[in-house]
Each structure stands twice: as structure tokens, then as C-alpha cells.
Structure 1
Amino acid sequence: KAAPLPAMASVDLRPELTCAICLHIFTDPVTVSCGHSFCRTCIGTAMDKQGMGEYSCPECMEKFRIKPELKRNLRLPSLCENHLSAHSKSAEHVLTEPTTSLENRKCSVHKKVLEYYCCEDAACICVSCRLDGEHRGHQVETLNEASEKKKEKLRNILQKLTSQREEAEERVQSLEVVKRQVRGKTAGETDRVTALIRDIKEKLEDLKKQVLGEITRQKEQVSLSISDLIQQLEIKKEELSRKIGDIEELCNMTNPVTVLQQQESDRADYCDTEDTERHDIKVHDVEDLDPCVPEASDILLDVNTAGDEVSVSEDLKTVFGSEIDHRRPERPERFQCPQILSTSSFSTGRHYWEMEGSDFGWWQVGVTYPSIKRKGGQSWIGDNNKSWCLSQFSNQYSVKHDRKEIQLPHSSSRHRFGIFLDYEAGRLSFYELCDPIKCLHTFTATFTEPLHTCFPNLSSGPSTRPDFADHLEEKQTESCNH
């Protein structure tokens, strides 16, 4: 190892100690067969990048068919260490990473090492470019100064990009939390809806079995009654055939004495036949079948239509006759007579509701258009062409429309009634809810306005308590005509 050189000598020898590839002081110098020296790492990397059989010296460009053998330079290492030691003692000297391409560090015009950066043209230049070349007089900086400024800008950009990336990561994490929450909620809703639909299906199946079972029971009941009647009618038919034969035989007799002697007994037999026919066992019509439907819900009463002599319960389901004048505020829809309408109305479809009358007094129930008069004689239900009603007085029924009243043959036995409305068909039927159900009367009309339930109160005391079931077509009974 050679002795250290003086500082001046070290500086003078710098070109000789500089690797032509990395432009830095040699590190582990080796020599190629052409005589030029390089850092072992630099020349090794350069040779590795060259193709097979196309090796060349980076400095003199001498070509070699085979990869040249690298020989260690025994004199240069000591000189390189001394030179690097002198540079390391000065803070102004900055050592850079080795480069494998010398051309990247030289000016393409003057073939000198690039040392400056032209700020105006944004280009790296050499000393000649700055003093005599096209960049003369331009604002220039050393490469290290320009590089540090650019690095500072890049660090600012990097800081912003890093901040944006962190925000994006936080947003992704937040969205992942929301995604997990949505999955949990949808899974819960799916289970709830599935269970609900399953429960509905089970209830519908139970209702189906109940309704079909009731229909079957009623069919068998009616069929049995009809079979009994058919059997009795067959017996009657045989008896009538026998009597018809006897009478025909009597009519064919030529002896008047015999005919006259048989006349009285034949008349008695004939009368007995008529009487028997009139007193046959009664079989209820199909319309008297007890309907199989759910329990009815409620109709509410509209207090704004109630007359001053009508009292209404707090739950708006019961109307009472009252001797007290309530002196309610005047309203266009309020009746002057003791009468009240329901809040709901029907303008389409089939509807069924029930009401319960008082055990005493005189009461009415029916339906009316909302355009019914509220004052005067024609404001009473049944006394105009806008309303239809059923009345009960002294245990006798009557129906009334447009002042035309019909007395019904039925006697009152129950105080609970059903009302069925088929708006499109124009049918309004009243039923007494006995066992079996009895159809009292059916009105037929062409309805042109919505229909409200109407409850006149003609005597004091509890009058009506309405219950309502909407769209229960199963509760319809067959038509009855009176």
C-alpha cells in the first residue's frame, strides 16, 4: 500500500483516480486488458449488460470476443483512499452513487462533465455551455442545488400524495365498516321477512282449511235436509198418484149413484193433500247459511253529523237517544233530526257489516247518500230517494225507501243484524243473525253516490252498536227477494 500523497498532489491526480463509468474515485479498481481501469462493480455491471461476444471497453471502445479478465490494480487503491479521504473532510464535497453510463454525465455538445442546471431551459449543462455556449447569460445553478430544489418540490408533492393516500385508506376502512353493517342488516331483514312470509303462509293454510271445512259441513247439512225433503216428497208423490188413479177410476164410472156416493170422501182426501202440501217440513234456503268469515271490525260514527238529541259513546261505536239537547255547534253536515252517519263510506266493491239494536224502543238502520238533506221532513232516512232503511217497532220489521214502506212477515226474534252491500250489482240486503241466518229483505237499485251507514234514533236508550268488516266476500249470502 503506497504512502498517502499530499493534499495538492491528491487533487492533481483526481482525473487519474476517477472511474470513467461512475465518475467517482475508484473503489476496488481493476484493469481491463486494454489497460484502462474501472471500479470492479462498475465494469462488472457494464460487461453484464453487453451481449455475448460483443464486449467492449467503456472508455476506448476496444472490442473483445470473449469477456475480458479483470485484473486487480495494485497501485490505485491507496491513491483512491487518499483522494476520498481529502474529499470526505470537506462538507462541500458530495459523493454520489456510481453510474454505469458515462455518456449520461457528459455534455452532448462539448463532451465535458455536466456541472450546472439552466433554470430557463430546464437542462443540465457543462462549463462551456454556461460561458460560451447557448446558455450564456442564463440563470444557472449547480446540479446539487437544482437537484435539492427539485427534491424539495417532490417532497411536498410526496407529502400531499401520502396524505391523500391515507385519506383514501381511511375512506376504504370506513366503507368496509358500512359494507359489513349493510351485510348484517340485510341478513337480519332477510331472516325476518322469510319468517314473516312463512308465518303468513301457515295462517293462510289454516284459514283455507277452516273455510273449506265449514263449506263442506254446510254442504252436507243442506244436502241432508234436501234429501229428507226429497224422500218426503217421493212419499207424497206416491200418495198423490194413488189418489189420482182413484179419482180417474171414479171419473170413468157410468153409474151416477156410485159417483155421487164417493164425492164427499174424495173431497176430504183432496183437501188433506193441499193441507199437507202447505205444512211440509221447512228447509231453509241456501241464503240462510251461516257464513264462515273472520270477526267483523268496527264502524266509527261521525259526531259532526249527529243531531242535538243524539248521544255518542267515547269510542264512537254506540249511539244513544237522549232527552238532553247537546246544543252542538252548527255545521252544514249536521242533522236537525236525531240521526247520525258513519265516518266511512262505500263507493265500490262488496261490503258486510253488523249492528246490534236495543232491546226496547223503535229504531232504524240503513244507508244513505251524503247528499241527503240535513233539515226538514226529507232528512229522515227512508223518506227520500237517497236512502234505504230497515225499521223495527213492536217486534215487527219494515223496510222503507222514498217514503214507500213495506211491512215484512218476519217477527223480531233477535237484536243483532247483518247488512250486505254489493255496490256494482246494486244490491242491499238485511239479515237477522239467528241460527240459521234469516234474510229479511233485499233492495235493488243503481247506486250513483258513495253510501254511508245511517242510524236514526227514534226513542231514548241505547240504540245501535255497529261492527264492520270490509271486503269480506265470503260473508255474502245468496240473494233473497221480498
Structure 2
Amino acid sequence: MSSSSGLLTEELQCSICLDVFTDPVTTPCGHNFCKTCLNKCWDNSQTCNCPYCKETFKRRPDLKINTTLREVVDHYKKKSPEKKPEVLKKPEVLCDVCEERKLKALKSCLVCQSSYCETHLERHLRVAGLKKHKLINPVRNLEDYICQKHERPLELFCRDDQTTLCLMCGITDHQNHNTVPIEEESEKKKTQLMKTQKDVQQMIQDRIKKIQDVKHSAKVRKRNTEKEKAARVELFTDLIRSIERCQTELLEMMEEQQKAAEKQEEVLIEELEQEITELKMRNTELEQLSHTEDHLHLLQIHSSLCSSRNTRNWSEISVKTDKSLETLRRALTQLQDTLQEKLTQTDLKRMQQYAVDVTLDPDTAHPYVILSVDGKQARCGDIGQKLPNNPKRFDLFTNVLGKEGFSSGRFYFEVQVKGKTKWELGMARESVNRKGSITLSPSHGYWTIWLKNGNEYKALSSPSVPLCLRVKPQRVGVFVDYEEGLVSFYDVESSSHIYSYTGQSFTGKLYPYFSPDLNDGGKNSTPLIITPVKYNK
């Protein structure tokens, strides 16, 4: 069936055969297919799942024809009739013997090099000498079936030279060659053609499946894009609210500062005016005494008038200038911190969607590292356990890897480090050295951070990078994007970014890497704990 054209073609199209539905049926998950296509798909599979969304059904559904959809399809087909492919008709071969009205030939004779209708063919079927002639289905180009050298029918095939021969060619030019009847070689070629056809059909099915996968990926991507857009709208809405709140608080603060400054200025002016009044009175007294003739009185009050009175030293008092720039700077710094926190929260929330279940691998654990029964905790003991020294096991440092390796995509996990004074976390390449001294660096296959001496954090790049953290992380999130070459670490509880390795080139599998570090006389006895991801709201 060839696909019909029109606006509704895609909606009325089976995603298996990519054609307009024939006897459409609906799966329990709500997708539609041709009944024959879906049954054939399930017959060739060990499980029954939807070819479109991949939902698996425990029991094979009893398929009923969707009558409503079939009526729509029938109506659509009537309005848009199918364009059936044109069949190339072979030119009709006529009898070479008929004189007046030429009849259609039934057979062609390679010996006589003529074609015969049913009437004129009768002698070839009756006469003994003619019965030995080579008869084939009627063809117009009889000369192509005759050896041009010996004028005999081409009845043999030379496998050495890959060419057709007559019997004389087989005796002369191809005497020692591998020759077989053309019928035998034709059957062999048919078998090869059937295999090729089967391969082509498989290629068609592979491409149909690829189209389905691409459509499914596009649908998933669109859904994820919509979710991402909604998350970004929510983020920017929060940021706008934060900016508006910051603006309001800044204006209120500036208004309060202005009122406080005005009140201070009023008090200062009042004090200055009071002192000016007192000084004017004193100046008047001094002026009067400077002209007095009462010498005794002048001597009696001289010391009191000349002594310094309790007045303020106004040279030490300054009027505070505009603080708006300083206030604005503080507000912008606070806004920047809020913005960074919101962005990190959004990133962390997105990364948590790629959470994977990580379990510690006992075959890699150093003998001093003690794992919990569920494989979710690792602590360092004081005595080494008696364990087989297999190639996967670390034998010098207190390290352990996760069981699950990852060679593509994105993944995320969280580890509780609360109460520890030393630890190491990150990712390691499967091929890393496990024996003797190791170097934690990307060039040696490790992407890690560590804590030493209770408060010294570092990223173990080349060279190492000291990390200044505002708060001590209690739970660390590790995110990896294999294709992007990214390994990021986050403080989950404060929703803050710790460090990221970017632009890395990963090869082979990556495994989660852990080290609870030495017990340190009980000071560092708390285990590292792989915790379930609690999605940030």
C-alpha cells in the first residue's frame, strides 16, 4: 500500500509500515497500528510491547478493530484515493508464423530462433526431432539467447569467467572451466537474491524502527524541553520577585537612612545655635569689661571669663555624607548571592532527575574498608580483613569503587559525609591502577575532591585546587555528563556548587569512587553513606 497524501496522513498512519491504517487496532497504552503489522511484530518478538512508546504488556492483548478509526480511514481513502504504482508491461510477443492476423506467441524456440502461437507450436510438441529444441517463454530479443560465435542456444554458465555459453563454447574455449547448466546457476542466483531481498527487508525494518526511535526521541525531547522551559520560567519569576523585593528593601533602607541623617542634622544645628547664643552673650560681657574702670571687679571675674567653658570641639565632628552607593553595593552583592543560589538550586534539581542506584563493589574494597550488608556504607577499620587479592582490589589506599559502571549519558548520586574529618569522592576510569601508590588526577583516570584535617577541601586536578567553602558539606552530590566530559560536585543541603571538571575526554566505563580514609583513632570512624536522592523542591 502506498502512502496517501493529505493533511491527515500522519495522524492516520501506522508507525510500523508507515502507511495509512488497514484494520486499525488500539493497544492498552492508546497507540494505533494496523492489525496485521502489530501481530507480525509481536509474533517475531519474545515480549509484547508497544512499538511506539515501548510499554510492555504482561499478557498479549486481545486486539479488537477500532471501528471509529476504521470509518475515518475509509472516509479519508475515498476522498484521497491511493496512487497505485504502475506495473511495467512487457511488450507482447507475436507468432512469427501467422500470416494474416498475428496471434500472441506461447513459446519461443532458441534453435529455430522463432516464436510460436499455440497452433504453430503443436509441431514442436509432436515431431520427435523438434521435441529436442530448447523452448522458453516468449521473448522478442531471441538473438540475446543465442551464441553469436556458434549460433547455438546459450545453455551453460561458466563460473570461472562468469559468462553464458553454448555447448560448443563449453567444449572448445571453456573445456577445463567450471560450467553448469544455466538453470542450475539461475536457481543459485535466486537463492542469493532471496537472501539479498531478506537483507533489504531487514534494512527496511531497521530504518522503520529508527524512524520510530527518532520520533520517540523527538517526543521525549519536546516533553523535556517543555519541563525545562517551565523550570526556567519559575526560576526567572523567582528572580524577578527577589529583585523587586531587593529594590523595595533598598529604597526603604535609603529612606530610613535619610530620615536618620536629617534628624542628626537637626540636633547638630540646634546644638550649634545654642552655643552661638551663649558665645554671643559671653562676647558682650567681654566687650563691656574691656571698657570698665572698676579694676577690682575686673580682677575678681577675669579668671572665670578667660577660662575655657564646656563647649564641644566641632572640628572633630563631621556630617556623614551619602551612603547610597555603599548600600547599593551591599544590596547588589546580596542579590548576586541570591541569583547564584537560585541557579544552583535549579541545576541541582535538574541533575537529580538522572539519579542512579549506586552500590559498593566488595571485590574492589581495600582490606581495611568495611562495607555494610546492603553495599551502601563504607568505613575504615583498624585491622585488615582476609580477602582475596584479585586484580580489581585496591591494596595500598583505603579505596572502593561502585559496582555499576557508566559509558554514556548522564547520572547522579549522593553521599553523606557528615561527621567525617577525612574523605575522598568522585569518579574513576575502569582501567585505573589499583595496586601500590596511585595519583588522584584526571591524567591518571581520577576526577575527585577530598577533605583532609577536618576543614581542608581540595579538587585533585593537576595542579590541585584549594576549595573555599562557606559551610561544611554534610551530603555531597556527584553529577556526570559523559558526552560533555563533565564531573560536578554539589553541597546538597545548601544547594551550592563545590567544583566541576569540564572539557574532559572519557573513554571506557567510569565508576563511582569512594574513600572513607583512615580511622584516625576513632576520630574518623563515621562511614560514607550512599543515600537515596531527596529531590529539592
Greater RCO structure (CA 8 Å; 6+ sep):
1
Q: TM-score, with normalisation over the residues of structure 2?
A: 0.37
Which has the larger strand fraction? Answer: 1
Q: TM-score, with normalisation over the residues of structure 1?
A: 0.41
